[in-house]
């Protein structure tokens, strides 16, 4: 491209930036005004909150006044937040106003229109678009179209136009660093540039270089179940985040960020992705890990986590694997639903409700209420039982209010306590004093018996655990599931509950059973459910999530090859399973086969680890061959590690040493900690990733990436067979620029196999004599 052309483009960049800068000045003015107003209200508010509360009437007046001020303050805060959001967006645009240009010509129109595309829209004072938001309907052409006739969706239907030119820019600090014309979706030059950079502490948005197949995921608004099978580093996580930004833009009126929930693999990951949406001017969605979600719903129980399970998984006897598979299946969940629907009232398990160590409602009484009700759906019948219990509680409160201890307590009340109990009621609202005293007495007893009310409200009178044990006792086992083994697993559940623990495999069916019987546990407000790393979820768990968020559109992303300790499952089979289990109308499967994260040599090696790796397309970014270092004892392994760290540190910001489990991570960390200053051992509790040298077990590195990776001890002992392919593949694919694998003793047969081409690795043996 001529430098004259670039000069012309630079002039336009300058002119747009000039207008953005002027807008920033104007908006800053608005912002200062909003802040000043806010401060005034705050001062006024704090002056008012220190009024004297003794006189009741004063207090009521003050509180009405305060409420008004509080409403005003929250309106002002909202206003201030909007202006501050705009300001941030403009400041980003000021550095880099856009990254793309398309020239289009509609049929019959003599003129070509030139549109520039950036992370947000910007219009001049006459409302002409100087920059189009990347999510605007017309911007789809930039991502989807090759030159020639193209179509794009608009709210008014599909439009046809002719794409005459597509240009990409890299603009930094207001200067065009490079620009390319391309016929491709988004050309490789730009990608080369972006991917060659060092890893940042947090993930970056990819709007400038979204690829066509990623764009399909991002802009899909039709599917109610979107399953994405994407190879490691293919941009699944990036696509989720851009998709959320797109959906928020697309349904601005109906969709809020907190109606979107993302299940992420670990807390480090949650932090890692936390900057992407704000960088696009959007608020973050809700994020939760499966462990957090389950423990929140099973309060009081220590729910086994996926990490606990990884640590013990390899020791699980074969016979129990089938039992676990059954419990993780859709069949098991269907049986739970079926059991609940047809549950004979005689089999309903109730608990006593206690107060102060005494039985308050006997379970026989609860049973009698339940039995006396007409045959209804279990949840309805349960709700009626609950209402009856609450009615009886109120009756008992009324009786108790007449007792002596209450009268004594009333006598002891200070004026202020008395007014507190009166709450919104005013004295003159009572016909006579007796009514007022009785009102106060009931308030006192209600407060005292609050725990009973809470127990009823939280459905504690259903004995969920016994009910689940009862379910298991009658479950119909598939042929490959041994009855004695299943019974043993039932006994293990019972024992775990004694110790307030819950095995992971039982958490979803247990919650499902509780929800169906009590009619609770569903969140109808959530509109989108995203699950990243879905290969680590069982069908039963996914089914429970679908039940818990019944109105949510689902987007599940994962890579079956990265399943740790689990057989690889074909994505089509998975989609069919999910479709049947969820009863959805518009399921869609999309595949991402191109891997962007790692250099060409690293991806080529990682492909060779997999039996069906040929489908993976490596992005053509040059780099060193991965290295395998073989040593024969722990200490020389550590020496080799030490030397590698020193070499890699020269060119890499973050080096991750990935181990198979936590014990090995500890062993390595103990040694390294003496030799290097900036070594960090990462644990499940860590929330952010420091720079430097990190030591962590592979399951904590899921979804993350590092400049350089050293896989610790890839020996035949640690990775003996295909069961470990997923783990090894996940380790290798965390590396962006450099990969080293160290083996203590003979290297894993997964690497030293005939299928592994000798050209994809450098091997360094210890010289032994």
Ligand X SMILES: Nc1ncnc2c1ncn2[C@@H]1O[C@H](COP(=O)(O)OP(=O)(O)OP(=O)(O)O)[C@@H](O)[C@H]1O
Task: Note the residues at the interface with ligand X (CB under 6 A).
Answer: 191, 194-195, 204, 206, 209-211, 214, 230, 232-238, 559, 596-597, 703, 705, 733
The three-class DSSP label of residue 28 is helix
User: At closest approach, how far in Å is the CB of 230 from ligand X?
Assistant: 5
Using the 8-state DSSP alphabet, how is residue 550 labeled? Answer: T
User: At closest approach, how far in Å is the CB of 530 from ligand X?
Assistant: 12
Q: Which of 602, 520, 609, 601 is nearest to 562 (CA)?
A: 609
Nearer to ligand X, 168 or 209 (CB): 209
Q: Which two tokens stand for residue 589?
A: 């499967």
CA neighbours closer than 13 Å in the CB half-sphere of residue 746: 8
Nearer to ligand X, 188 or 463 (CB): 188
Nearer to ligand X, 233 or 613 (CB): 233
Nearer to ligand X, 529 or 557 (CB): 557
User: At closest approach, how far in Å is the CB of 18 from ligand X?
Assistant: 29
Nearer to ligand X, 214 or 287 (CB): 214
User: At closest approach, how far in Å is the CB of 570 from ligand X?
Assistant: 17
Q: Is 551 annotated as a binding residue?
A: no
Give the residue ranges of DSSP H helices in 96-211.
140-144, 188-195
Nearer to ligand X, 232 or 510 (CB): 232
Tokens 């490079």 found at:
178
Nearer to ligand X, 167 or 243 (CB): 243
Query: What span, in angstroms and rounded, lies between the C-alpha atoms of 421 and 329?
Result: 53
Query: What span, in angstroms and rounded, lies between the C-alpha atoms of 634 and 742?
Result: 11
Q: Is 233 annotated as a binding residue?
A: yes
Nearer to ligand X, 193 or 396 (CB): 193
User: Cβ contacts of residue 289 below 8 Å, gap of 6+?
Assistant: 263, 264, 265, 266, 267, 270
Q: Is 46 annotated as a binding residue?
A: no
User: Cβ contacts of residue 182 below 8 Å, gap of 6+?
Assistant: 166, 167, 168, 189
- List Cα–Cα distances, 511 to 303, 352, 467, in angstroms: 12, 20, 11
The pair phi, psi for residue 24, each rounded to 5°, is -60, -40
User: At closest approach, how far in Å is the CB of 671 from ligand X?
Assistant: 28
Query: What span, in angstroms and rounded, lies between the C-alpha atoms of 692 and 688?
Result: 13
- List Cα–Cα distances, 681 to 198, 700, 710, in angstroms: 21, 11, 14
Q: Which position's Cβ is nearest ligand X?
A: 235
Query: What span, in angstroms and rounded, lies between the C-alpha atoms of 183 and 194?
Result: 19
Q: Is 234 annotated as a binding residue?
A: yes
Nearer to ligand X, 553 or 621 (CB): 621
Tokens 């005293």 found at:
437
Query: What span, in angstroms and rounded, lies between the C-alpha atoms of 237 and 556?
Result: 11
User: At closest approach, how far in Å is the CB of 702 from ligand X?
Assistant: 7
User: At closest approach, how far in Å is the CB of 207 from ligand X?
Assistant: 9
Pairing of strands 260-263, 286-288: parallel
User: At closest approach, how far in Å is the CB of 284 from ligand X?
Assistant: 16
In 449-608, DSSP assigns E strands to 501-502, 528-531, 553-558, 587-592, 594-595
Annotated binding-site residue numbers for ATP: 230-237
Binding site: residue ranges?
Answer: 230-237
């Amino acid at each position: 491209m001529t430098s004259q052309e670039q000069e012309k483009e630079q002039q336009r960049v300058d002119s747009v930036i000039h207008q953005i800068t002027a807008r920033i000045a104007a908006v800053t003015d608005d912002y200062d005004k909003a802040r000043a107003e806010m401060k005034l209200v705050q001062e006024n508010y704090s002056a008012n909150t220190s009024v004297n509360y003794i006189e009741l009437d004063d207090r009521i007046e003050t509180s009405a006044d305060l409420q008004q001020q509080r409403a005003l303050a929250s309106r002002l805060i909202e206003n201030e937040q909007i202006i501050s959001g705009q300001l941030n967006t403009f400041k980003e645009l000021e550095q880099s106003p856009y990254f793309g240009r398309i020239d289009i010509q509609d049929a019959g129109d003599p003129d070509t229109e030139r549109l520039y595309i950036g992370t947000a829209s910007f219009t001049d004072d006459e409302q002409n678009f100087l920059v189009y938001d990347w999510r605007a309907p017309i911007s789809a052409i930039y991502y989807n179209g090759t030159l020639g006739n193209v179509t794009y969706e608009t709210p008014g239907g599909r439009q046809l136009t002719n794409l005459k030119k597509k240009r990409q820019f890299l603009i930094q600090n207001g200067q065009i660093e490079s620009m390319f014309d391309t016929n491709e979706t988004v050309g490789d030059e730009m990608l080369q540039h972006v991917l060659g950079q060092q890893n940042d502490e947090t993930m970056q948005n990819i709007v400038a270089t979204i690829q066509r197949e990623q764009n399909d995921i991002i802009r899909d608004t039709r599917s109610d179940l979107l399953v994405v099978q994407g190879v490691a580093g293919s941009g699944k996580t990036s696509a989720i985040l851009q998709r959320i930004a797109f959906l928020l833009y697309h349904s601005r009126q109906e969709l809020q960020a907190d109606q979107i929930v993302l299940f992420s693999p670990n807390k480090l990951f949650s932090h890692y992705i936390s900057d992407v949406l704000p960088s696009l001017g959007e608020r973050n969605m809700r994020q939760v890990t499966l462990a957090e979600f389950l423990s929140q719903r099973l309060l009081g129980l220590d729910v086994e986590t996926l990490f606990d399970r990884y640590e013990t998984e390899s020791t699980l006897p074969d016979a129990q694997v089938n039992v676990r598979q059954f419990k993780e299946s859709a069949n098991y969940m269907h049986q739970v639903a079926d059991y609940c629907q047809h549950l004979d009232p005689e089999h309903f398990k109730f608990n006593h409700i206690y107060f102060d160590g005494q039985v308050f409602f006997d379970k026989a009484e609860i049973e009698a209420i339940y039995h006396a009700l007409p045959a209804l759906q279990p949840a309805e019948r349960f709700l009626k039982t609950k209402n009856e219990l609450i009615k009886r509680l109120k009756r008992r409160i009324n009786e108790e209010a007449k007792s002596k201890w209450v009268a004594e307590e009333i006598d002891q009340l200070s004026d202020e306590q008395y007014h507190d109990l009166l709450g919104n009621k005013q004295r003159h609202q009572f016909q006579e004093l007796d009514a007022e005293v009785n009102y106060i007495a009931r308030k006192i007893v209600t407060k005292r018996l609050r725990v009973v009310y809470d127990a009823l409200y939280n459905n504690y009178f259903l004995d969920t655990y016994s009910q689940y044990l009862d379910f298991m006792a009658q479950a119909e086992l598939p042929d490959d599931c041994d009855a004695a083994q299943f019974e043993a697993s039932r006994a293990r559940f019972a024992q775990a509950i004694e110790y307030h623990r819950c095995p992971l495999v039982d958490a979803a069916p247990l919650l499902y059973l509780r929800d169906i019987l009590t009619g609770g546990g569903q969140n109808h407000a959530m509109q989108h459910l995203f699950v990243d790393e879905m290969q680590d979820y069982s069908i039963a768990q996914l089914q429970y999530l679908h039940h818990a968020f019944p109105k949510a559109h689902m987007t599940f992303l994962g890579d079956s090859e990265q399943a740790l300790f689990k057989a690889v499952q074909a994505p089509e089979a998975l989609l069919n399973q999910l479709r049947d289990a969820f009863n959805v109308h518009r399921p869609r499967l999309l595949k991402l086969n191109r891997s962007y994260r790692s250099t060409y040599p690293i991806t080529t090696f990682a492909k060779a680890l997999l039996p069906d790796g040929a489908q993976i397309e490596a992005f053509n970014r040059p780099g060193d061959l991965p290295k395998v270092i073989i040593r024969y004892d722990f200490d020389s392994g550590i020496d080799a590690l030490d030397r590698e760290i020193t070499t890699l540190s020269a060119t890499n910001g973050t080096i991750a040493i990935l181990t198979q489990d936590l014990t090995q991570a500890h062993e390595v960390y103990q040694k390294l900690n003496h030799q290097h200053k900036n070594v960090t051992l990462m644990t499940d509790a860590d929330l952010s990733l420091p720079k430097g040298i990190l030591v962590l077990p592979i399951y904590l590195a899921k979804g993350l990436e590092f400049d350089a990776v050293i896989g610790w001890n890839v020996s035949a002992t640690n990775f003996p067979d295909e069961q470990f392919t997923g783990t090894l593949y996940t380790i290798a694919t965390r590396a962006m620029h450099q990969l080293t694998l160290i083996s203590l003793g003979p290297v894993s047969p997964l690497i030293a196999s005939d299928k592994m081409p000798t050209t994809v690795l450098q091997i360094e043996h210890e010289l032994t004599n």
